[in-house]
A and B are shown apart, each in its own frame.
Chain A
Amino acid sequence: MDAFYASVEQRDHPEWKGRPVIVGADPKRGAGRGVVAACSYEARAFGVHSALPIGQAWRRCPGAVYVRPRLARYEQVSREIMAVFGHYTDRIEPLGLDEAFLDVTGSTASMGPPESIARDIQRRIRAETGLEASVGAACNKFLAKVASDLEKPAGRVVVPPDGVEAFLGPLPIEKLWGVGPRTAARLRRLGVGTIGELAAMPPAALDDAVGSAGTRLRELARGVDSRPVVVDRKPRSVSRETTFSQDTTDRDRLIASIRRLADSVAARLRGKRRRARTIVLKLRRASFETSTRQVSLPEPTDDGDAIFEQARRLFDGFGREAPVRLLGVSARNLVDTGRSAPQLGLFERKAPDTGRIGSALDEIHARFGDAAVRRASELT
């Protein structure tokens, strides 16, 4: 999907169409401390990109619409998109919320060549969600991914099996997985700037330049990638963290933020139909010294209160003195919700059915935004 979070925001707020939209931390007129999660193409024209510190984004593009991410909403739209994919194949490997590999090998007989399946998927996503998608079609995951990125937004690039060399040859070496800025710089010093030039390098020279990664890079440069589409890649953990605008020792404030993180992790778990057996609290001091503590639960949970309770106890296990810069809550050891019917206890006081509260909240948040329903404890 193209500029996914930002596109969803523009679709939900038509008045923002055509304007730079930046999804991320609160910029606080340039004093904010988080980062950009996503931005619209209009914002990219100002040099804003994802992972840019929000303060810099503000300086580059003060006139943009700044919004906080609404993950529950994006997850809902993501499910709609994944449902569209399901019409074409059941061999789907999602990569995050807005991207997936589809193996359509078995679908071409009934649905036509890859080219027309690609066009169909784009049309259908546009019709059903109002969003633009870019598609790449090729004989393996690496080529398909490179192709899909090539003509964003709303791009569609098909690489025929006999056109791999012609397709890859002129592309810059950064398109290869595993070539970051440092490797690229080293190769460029050797006069190698394109994938075609890399493929033509003597193997020994490449190995000298990049070490053990040489074999893999040479294969990729020739368009060879034998990894299959892995259906049902389930998340291994769900985590949320927050960086404070100022380092703090204020316990109430820290606890309140653990509460928000726990609720957010719980919502994410429910969205993925998973429950966690292990809860981890991460704490970074002003000195950047980072430590984690974790606890395992007798029963897996996707309940915000239960996660908060554990995270708060973990928090109490840390010393109080040093100011905190960042807190994170994550859920690990996940099991499918359907496989973890909760065992009720004999002696616990009868708890409300928090599962139903959770899913009701998830729906409200998805439809009306994260601020629609909040905990009373957050209203300060």
Chain B
Amino acid sequence: MKRMEFTVRKFDLLQQLTLVQGVVERKVTLPILKNVLLRGGDEHLEMLATDLEIGFKSTCPAVVTHGGTLTLPAKPLYEIVRALPDKDVRFKEGERHQMTVTCGTSRFRIAGLPQEDFPQLPEPKAAGVAIPAQVMSQLIARTVYAISAEDSKYTFSGALLVLRPGSLIMLATDGHRLSYVEKSGELAGVAEESKVLIPKKAMSELSRILVDGGGEGDVVFSRHENHLFFDMSGCLLVSRVLSGQFPNWESVLPRGNNRRFEIPRDAVTSAIRRVAILADEFSKSVRFSLGKGALQVSASHSDLGDASETLDVDYDDAEFQIGFNYQYLVDFLSTIPETDVSFEFKDGESATELRALPREDYNHRYVVMPMRI
């Protein structure tokens, strides 16, 4: 029997292995999950990794002398390839699942495992919806930070994707704040509303892959049974569907928040960041004091002292104060590309809404609950 043998360019291989690293878990119960599966096909090399929650398949061009399949430990392989000179890398399978890797004058022999134990990666079955990569990337970047780190009574660690005829909505919440972003536009293949929960890890891996791809092309999204498929020319991310009920977000989008002002994003972001240096490191609370024509942002620390900064704003309503976890504000302000932002309040204890302005491509609403001060 002929054993696998192929040659790839270091650069091509490294690019794919870098993406694979994100999927491979450091601590796994099944040793084989630390491995990446290499499959030499027709003029290309296929790579597969999975942590059983999400799986990733990518390909890179290769000169394949003999096809075959073998799994190799992902991290050492990545480190070896990264350290190699930018030349052709030759892989040749030897005895007992060992792989010899040669590049220039370097030679490595890596112990692999047979492919039989490697979990199967499901394949997309249904026709998908093509979402421009650029749009998908924006939807994720504008919501992923608001996904809660752990499941609780009201939250779970994933985002909600709502496909509607005429619009695409992504939502995430950790129970304290909620990020809602909507992109209008028709998508081929969306005839009725459908909703799906995407796990946080799938969101962040998807985002990495899209950034790496430079936002070109489309992400073809489909669902089959308990799996979500994100097909990006040449690579495929598979994720389990997150089960659970996304909280009733429509009921928490504020209505009647009549006290408002608009402000350049950079001005308010840097004021918050400066003042936050003297915010309490545990509560992270900063105070907004609104008066006619002025917003004062302040913070105090029981040991260090206090800080405040006053900004001119076009505000003409009653004076009041409200406290926030500054991190929640900065998360939103530092990820939107829009130049301006509006703040809309009801009172010091109700949900406050921030909106990215001008509202052109994306309708991005961010709802934050205050801290009691």
Q: Which A residues have a C-beta under 8 Å from some C-beta of B?
A: 298, 335-336, 338-348, 353, 355
**Chain B 359-373 per-residue mask, 1 if CB under 8 angstroms from chain A, else 0:** 000000001011111
Q: Is the CB of A341 within 8 A of B371?
A: yes
Q: Is the CB of A335 within 8 A of B282?
A: yes
Q: Is the CB of A346 within 8 A of B367?
A: yes
Q: Is the CB of A346 within 8 A of B280?
A: no
The A-contacting residues of B in range 230-258, CB under 8 angstroms, are 247-248, 252
| Nearest Cβ on chain A to B67's Cβ, whole angstroms | 53
Does any Cβ of A come within 8 Å of B178's Cβ?
yes
Q: What is the total of A-B residue contacts with beta carbons within 8 Å? A: 53
Which chain A residues lie closer than 8 Å to B176 at the CB level? 343-346
Which chain A residues lie closer than 8 Å to B282 at the CB level? 335, 339-340
Taking a contact as CB atoms closer than 8 A, the residue among A298, A338, A346 that contacts B302 in the complex is A338
A338 to B285, CA, bound (A): 10
| Nearest Cβ on chain B to A296's Cβ, whole angstroms | 12
Does any Cβ of A come within 8 Å of B325's Cβ?
yes
- Please judge, given known A-B contacts A346-B176, A347-B175, whether A341 and B283 are in contact too, CB under 8 Å: yes
Q: Is the CB of B173 within 8 A of A344?
A: no
Q: Is the CB of A343 within 8 A of B369?
A: yes
Q: Is the CB of B247 within 8 A of A347?
A: yes
Q: Which 10 A-B pairs have the closest CB atoms?
A: A347-B154, A344-B369, A341-B371, A341-B285, A342-B372, A339-B280, A346-B252, A341-B283, A343-B371, A347-B247
Of all chain B residues, the one with the shortest Cβ separation from A348 is: B154
Q: Is the CB of A346 within 8 A of B177?
A: yes
Does any Cβ of A come within 8 Å of B219's Cβ?
no
Q: Is the CB of B154 within 8 A of A339?
A: no
A243 to B324, CA, bound (A): 43
- Interface centre among A298, A339, A343, A355, by most chain B C-beta atoms within 10 angstroms, is A343
Taking a contact as CB atoms closer than 8 A, the residue among B247, B302, B367 that contacts A336 in the complex is B302
- Interface centre among A335, A339, A342, A346, by most chain B C-beta atoms within 10 angstroms, is A346
A338 to B323, CA, bound (A): 13
- Please judge, given known A-B contacts A336-B302, A346-B252, whether A341 and B154 are in contact too, CB under 8 Å: no
| Nearest Cβ on chain B to A138's Cβ, whole angstroms | 32
Taking a contact as CB atoms closer than 8 A, the residue among B175, B283, B285, B325 that contacts A345 in the complex is B175
Taking a contact as CB atoms closer than 8 A, the residue among B178, B302, B372 that contacts A344 in the complex is B372
Q: Which B residues have a C-beta under 8 Å from some C-beta of A?
A: 152, 154, 173, 175-178, 247-248, 252, 280, 282-283, 285, 302, 323, 325, 349, 351, 367, 369-373
- Interface centre among A341, A342, A353, A355, by most chain B C-beta atoms within 10 angstroms, is A341
Which chain B residues lie closer than 8 Å to A343 at the CB level? 176, 283, 325, 369, 371
Q: Is the CB of A346 within 8 A of B154?
A: yes
Q: Is the CB of B372 within 8 A of A341?
A: yes
- Please judge, given known A-B contacts A339-B283, A339-B302, A340-B283, whether A346 and B371 are in contact too, CB under 8 Å: no
Which chain B residues lie closer than 8 Å to A338 at the CB level? 280, 302
Which chain B residues lie closer than 8 Å to A342 at the CB level? 371-372
Pairs A–B under 8 Å by Cβ, sample size 5: A339-B282, A339-B283, A339-B302, A343-B176, A347-B175
| Nearest Cβ on chain A to B287's Cβ, whole angstroms | 9
- Interface centre among A336, A345, A347, by most chain B C-beta atoms within 10 angstroms, is A347
A344 to B175, CA, bound (A): 9
Which chain A residues lie closer than 8 Å to B252 at the CB level? 346-347
Which chain A residues lie closer than 8 Å to B349 at the CB level? 344
Which chain A residues lie closer than 8 Å to B370 at the CB level? 344
Q: Is the CB of A341 within 8 A of B373?
A: yes
A338 to B301, CA, bound (A): 9
A355 to B371, CA, bound (A): 13
A216 to B175, CA, bound (A): 55
Which chain A residues lie closer than 8 Å to B173 at the CB level? 346
A57 to B152, CA, bound (A): 51
- Please judge, given known A-B contacts A343-B176, A346-B252, A347-B175, whether A355 and B283 are in contact too, CB under 8 Å: no
| Nearest Cβ on chain A to B109's Cβ, whole angstroms | 49
A340 to B248, CA, bound (A): 28
Of all chain A residues, the one with the shortest Cβ separation from B373 is: A341
Taking a contact as CB atoms closer than 8 A, the residue among A298, A346, A347, A355 that contacts B372 in the complex is A355
Which chain A residues lie closer than 8 Å to B283 at the CB level? 339-341, 343
| Nearest Cβ on chain B to A339's Cβ, whole angstroms | 5
A298 to B325, CA, bound (A): 15
Of all chain A residues, the one with the shortest Cβ separation from B173 is: A346
Of all chain B residues, the one with the shortest Cβ separation from A336 is: B302
A343 to B176, CA, bound (A): 7
Which chain A residues lie closer than 8 Å to B323 at the CB level? 341
A355 to B349, CA, bound (A): 14
Which chain B residues lie closer than 8 Å to A347 at the CB level? 154, 175, 247-248, 252
